């Protein structure tokens, strides 16, 4: 699953690193490093992190995207249930 | 034909073309659909990949914690677009409203968004730049190649330029246990973006982590061996550094060449647009069907005297793309201005560095919280008696407060005694930015004056 953290917004509160330690990790006191292509098995933890982030800085795919990051042709995917 | 009728048709069956399929292009496309655009949407990108995120390329990816092939951006919604990937746009015919592609195709549009961003400035000597082991870092392909070479444990990595990207690369090398030398023409790392006072802290940070930092020097020559592999760099102070990997980190060049002769106000400093993201033509007249967003744009900002700002900032690309997309579909009274306050982050040597506003406009700096010596502080920049920017080292939580002061043009130095002002912060110091007439590669915000059309460009009418 794809994700991105808006690091302008992120305050380094580390809730995500606590809830999904295989995806998010603090690096030093306030820097966050994350895996932008987390294993599907992490979804439940990542979703908890998304919900817990106090500044809502974590964005995960709202639509299904093709596995792997190649792909040129139409990325037809289901409509997102809701923006943000 | 009423304007309303036109907009209605545009929204339902118009043709919108986005050139540049990266962060700004993708977020604009999503916004267009979110605002109800049901016409044809075409995304043209010269890279063969769907939109991916660049900031991880110099951070997680070089640290080996993520793969360069897997930083594709998550989608906020389906965009139902026609993708033309792996093919550059090569020309624009403003009168016929068509974008020309390298494969000979022409794509007609009713509204065009240009989001072609920037590219890494290569090492100026072509033969030397072509040596095996010489890299730049801007794209996914660059990152794959560099990451692979770092994994082979080179004896020494040589980084040219200590702006944010160069410093992040040095930091990653250090963490991987690779000996690294950094050469910087200025007096300190990050000096172009944050000034000398903060630059000195960045220099100490590098040296403490074992980086062989050489400041005030220029690289005069890269030397290859008989097999065409880089083996050493020669510096202006006469010294020589042996290295088998060289990363050229000399800032970026705007991708505007494809617009040459189109009549659009596009040049080496970017594409000028108004506060509503509409591009200016070469005569300084604003167009109504061509919009720009992201790193390639330069736009006037009310908080900074309506000077045109060029920002190479992730957050700016997102925000400007959203505004541009909204305005593309809106009547003049419903349009919104792009008033995003510049904000940037970097992560190096375990420190989170963030800035808001335009520090490089500042003439003075006050350390309002923390202390420089602790590498944990908030610096506030002043310009003509007002707060113009702020930077934090591991003090993110203070940034919002200073952003508010910037937005409200609060006086500088801030009148209130701050909670944690130590000896550093008793009085403002000169911010110590390098002479702006000396080109540096460092700043990620460039003030590019007041002229919407780039005067250095000569006007040649587009081919029809
Ligand atoms: C290594 C690295 C680290 C970064 N770290 C940070 C950070 O920590 N914080 C931060 O705020 N920002 C950071 N940035 C900057 C951030 O990534 C950019 O601001 C952002 O990518 C801008 O998005 P954009 O869509 O405007 O332009 P770009 O991402 O540059 O995309 C432009 C796209 O257009 C394509 N293109 C160009 N010309 C043509 C043409 N003629 N036809 C078709 N396509 C074309 C390009 O190939 C590219 O794919 C970093 C950038 C890099 C490279
Ligand atoms: S929970 Fe949110 S604010 Fe905290 S570190 Fe994670 S992304 Fe940043």
Mean pLDDT of chain B: 92
- Residues contacting residue B22 through CB under 8 Å, at least 6 positions apart: B45, B47, B51, B52, B54, B115, B117, B294, B317
B110-127 per-position pLDDT tens digit: 999 999 999 999 999 999
DSSP classification of residue A41 = G
Contacts of B137-140 spanning 24+ positions with Cβ under 8 A: B137/B57, B137/B58, B137/B165, B137/B169, B137/B247, B137/B249, B138/B54, B138/B57, B138/B252, B139/B47, B139/B54, B139/B57, B140/B47, B140/B49, B140/B52, B140/B57, B140/B68, B140/B69, B140/B71
Tell me: pLDDT of B403 over 70: yes
CA of B117 to the centre of ligand 2 (A): 28
Handedness of CA B435, B439, B443, B447 (dihedral sign): positive
Nearest Cα residue to B327 out of B400, B262, B275, B284: B275
Q: Per-residue pLDDT for A84 more than 50?
A: no
Contact B379, B402 (CB under 8 A): no
| CA–CA dist B53, B25 (Å, integer) | 12
Task: Report how far residue B106's alpha carbon sits from residue B99's, in angstroms, rounded to the nearest whole number.
Answer: 6
Candidates B395, B180, B62, B319; CA nearest to A33 is B62
- Give me the count of residues in chain A: 84
Of B49, B314, B350, the CB nearest to A70: B49
Model confidence pLDDT, tens digit, residues B363-376: 999 999 999 999 99
Judged against a pLDDT cut of 90, whether residue B426 lies above it is answered with: no
Question: Given a cut of 60, is residue A74 above it in pLDDT?
Answer: no
Please say whether the beta carbons of B286 and B340 come within 8 A.
no
State the pLDDT at residue B438: 56
From the CA of A45, how many Å to the nearest CA of chain B?
17
Contacts of B253 (CB under 8 A, 6+ apart): B118, B119, B120, B121, B268
**Minimal CA–CA distance to B311: which of B283, B354, B344?**
B344
* Res B229: pLDDT: 98
Q: Is A3 in the pocket of ligand 2 (CB under 6 A)?
A: no
Q: Sorting pLDDT into bands at 50, 70 and 90, what band is B144? A: very high
pLDDT of residue B415: 80
CA distance B142 to chain A (A): 16
Lowest mean pLDDT among A30-34, B51-55, B444-448: B444-448
More confident residue, A70 or B288: B288
Residue of B nearest to A1 (CA): B74
Q: Do B78 and A70 touch (CB under 8 A)?
A: no
Q: What is the pLDDT of residues B46-55, one digit of tens each?
A: 999 999 999 9
Which pLDDT belongs to residue A78? Answer: 33
- pLDDT of B442 > 60? The answer is no
Residues in chain B: 464
Instruction: Give the B window 53-72 contacts with A, CB below 8 Å.
Output: 53, 55-56, 59-60, 63, 65-67, 69-72
pLDDT band for position B453 (cuts 50, 70, 90): low
Position B437 scores a pLDDT of 58
Is the C-alpha dihedral spanning B294, B296, B300, B302 positive or negative? positive
CA–centroid distance, residue A58 to ligand 1 (Å): 20
pLDDT at residue B440 above 60? no
B312 DSSP assignment: -
Phi, psi of B220 (to 5 degrees): -95, -25
Phi, psi (rounded to 5 degrees) for B338: -90, 100
């Amino acid at each position: 699953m794809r994700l991105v953290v808006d690091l302008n917004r992120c305050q380094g509160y580390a809730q995500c690193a606590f809830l999904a330690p295989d995806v998010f990790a603090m690096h030093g006191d306030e820097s966050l490093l994350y895996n932008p292509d987390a294993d599907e098995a992490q979804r439940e933890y990542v979703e908890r992190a998304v919900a817990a982030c106090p500044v809502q800085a974590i964005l995960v795919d709202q639509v299904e995207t093709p596995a792997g990051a190649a792909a040129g042709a139409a990325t037809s995917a289901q409509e997102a249930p809701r923006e943000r | 034909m009423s304007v309303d009728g036109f907009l209605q048709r545009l929204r339902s069956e118009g043709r919108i073309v986005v050139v540049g399929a990266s962060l700004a292009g993708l977020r604009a496309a999503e916004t267009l659909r979110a605002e109800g655009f049901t016409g044809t949407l075409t995304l043209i990108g010269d890279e063969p990949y769907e939109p991916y995120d660049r900031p991880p390329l110099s951070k997680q990816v070089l640290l080996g914690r993520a793969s360069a092939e897997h930083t594709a951006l998550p989608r906020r919604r389906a965009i139902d677009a026609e993708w033309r990937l792996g093919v550059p746009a090569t020309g624009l015919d403003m009168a016929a409203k068509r974008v020309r592609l390298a494969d000979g195709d022409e794509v007609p549009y009713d509204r065009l968004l240009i989001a072609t961003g920037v590219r890494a400035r290569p090492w100026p000597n072509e033969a030397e730049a072509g040596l095996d082991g010489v890299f730049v870092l801007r794209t996914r392909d660059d990152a794959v190649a560099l990451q692979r070479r770092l994994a082979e444990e080179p004896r020494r990595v040589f980084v040219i330029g200590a702006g944010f990207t160069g410093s992040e690369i040095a930091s990653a090398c250090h963490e991987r246990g690779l000996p690294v030398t950094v050469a910087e023409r200025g007096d300190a790392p990050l000096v172009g973006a944050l000034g000398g006072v903060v630059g000195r802290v960045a220099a100490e940070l590098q040296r403490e982590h074992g980086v062989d930092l050489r400041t005030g020097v220029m690289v005069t020559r890269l030397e290859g061996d008989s097999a065409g592999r880089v083996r050493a760099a020669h510096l202006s102070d006469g010294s020589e550094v042996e290295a088998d990997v060289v990363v050229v980190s000399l800032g970026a060049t705007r991708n505007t060449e494809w617009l040459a002769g189109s009549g659009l106000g596009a040049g080496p400093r970017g594409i000028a647009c108004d506060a509503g993201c509409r591009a200016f033509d070469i005569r300084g007249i604003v167009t109504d069907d061509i919009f720009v967003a992201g790193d390639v744009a330069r736009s006037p900002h009310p908080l900074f005297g309506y000077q045109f700002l060029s920002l190479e900032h992730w957050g700016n690309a997102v925000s400007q793309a959203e505004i541009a997309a909204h305005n593309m579909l809106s009547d003049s009274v419903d349009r919104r201005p792009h008033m995003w306050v510049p904000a940037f982050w970097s992560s190096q040597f375990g420190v989170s560095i963030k800035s808001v506003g335009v520090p490089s406009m500042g003439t003075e700096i006050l350390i309002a919280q923390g202390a420089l010596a602790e590498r944990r502080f908030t610096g506030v920049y002043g310009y003509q008696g007002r707060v113009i920017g702020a930077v934090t080292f591991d003090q993110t939580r203070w940034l919002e407060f200073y952003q508010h002061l910037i937005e409200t043009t609060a006086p500088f130095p801030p009148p209130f005694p701050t909670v944690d002002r130590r000896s550093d912060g008793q009085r403002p110091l000169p911010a110590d930015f390098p002479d702006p007439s000396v080109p540096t590669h460092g700043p990620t915000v460039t003030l590019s004056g007041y002229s919407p059309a780039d005067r250095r460009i000569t006007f040649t009418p587009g081919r029809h």
